[in-house]
Amino acid sequence: MSGKRKAADVPLARDESWWLHPAFRGQQALPLNDSAAGNLPHRWVRSDAPPTPGEARVDDTSLYGDLAKLLYSLNGHRPGPVRGFYVIVEFEAGRYAVGQLCADPAMPVQLFEDLIFERETDARAKADALRAAAPGPALRAAPRRG
């Protein structure tokens, strides 16, 4: 019997954001008021509103300072909303809003007041559609050296 394995019949897609928590990839709802994590700082905006200019200070030592630094790097060293990083937030029991992560330690997420859903699956579908329409930065690993 040969020791070689047969190649997969199905082409496998590489998940370039495997290292992010599923909630930050839009695959799971973030709780807005979680007793373990505290209240998630947020602001309500319309999905068709122009991005609000953010402050360029991300070296904050707040609870969300490290997340803001990471998002700031992924956002091309710009503060504000990160393109393609759409999330689902449960802001009330059984009510879900689509939001977008921001490179801002004081307000790490902006929620869209016009994208509120009764079911998490509907919110996830809308977040996936937004992500497909405006994909985020390419998350590629640096090439390996020799």
Cα dihedral 125, 130, 133, 139 sign: negative
Torsion angle of the four alpha carbons 41, 123, 30, 134, in this order, in degrees rounded to the nearest 10: -70
Tens digit of pLDDT for each residue in 60-73? 677 778 888 888 88
Whether this model's pTM surpasses 0.75 = no
pLDDT at position 35: 43
What DSSP line would sit under 22-34, residue for residue? GGGGTSSEEESEE
Domain contains 8: no
Q: Kindly list the distances between the CA atom of residue 28 and the CA atoms of 1, 44, 135, in Å, as whole numbers in the listed order.
A: 44, 20, 18
- Please report whether residue 58 resides in a domain: yes
Count of structural domains, the chain = 1
Taking the C-alpha atoms of residue 93 and residue 67, their distance in angstroms, rounded to an integer, is 26
Tell me the per-residue pLDDT of 36-86, one tens digit each, with 9 for 90 and over: 445 778 888 898 888 766 565 655 677 778 888 888 888 888 888 988 889
Query: Is residue 13 domain-resident?
Result: no
Average pLDDT of the chain is: 76
Q: 23 burial class (0-12, 13-18, 19+ CB within 10 angstroms)?
A: middle
Rounded Cα–Cα distance for residues 101 and 109 (Å):
4
Q: Which domain holds residue 97?
A: 31-47+54-132
Q: Is residue 1 part of a domain?
A: no
The verdict on residue 72 lying in a domain is: yes
Specify if 84 maps to a domain: yes
What is the Cα–Cα distance from 46 to 112, expressed in whole angstroms?
Answer: 5
Asked whether residue 5 is assigned to any structural domain, the reply reads no
The pLDDT value given to residue 77: 85
Q: Is residue 7 part of a domain?
A: no
The confidence score (pLDDT) of residue 86 equals: 92
